[in-house]
Amino acid sequence: MLRLSVYDEDWYVEKPANAALKAMVRSFPAVLDVFFCRLRSDEPDERAHAALQLMEIAEREPELLDAPRLRTELARLAQLGDKEAASYIGRAIVKLKRISA
């Protein structure tokens, strides 16, 4: 599943693989590390793809994410000048703030 969930896979393979990974996060929180690891890629498209997956998790199950970890990644992405990935992570943080308010 990990191999099929990558950003440069065909969408009809990648989408279901990512959906399956995201569905596993509640039972296996370590799955989040896959997306966080991909945020550290040298490839901007892979970072944006990972950030989008994290944002989608934040939209559905924000309690599964850690705001300080997301803020750390946001700062790193901003330092890299990766506006697209930073935007997704920023939106994920907003979702987390809504549940803690």
* Contacts with 46 (C-beta within 8 Å, 6 or more apart), sequence order: 6, 7, 8, 38
pTM reported for the whole predicted model = 0.91
Instruction: Check residue 100 and give its pLDDT.
Output: 61
Q: What is the pLDDT of residues 56-101, one digit of tens each?
A: 999 999 999 999 999 999 999 999 999 999 999 999 999 998 776 5
- Domain ranges (residues) in the chain: 3-100
| Residue spans of alpha helices (H) in the chain | 11-24, 32-38, 44-60, 67-80, 83-100
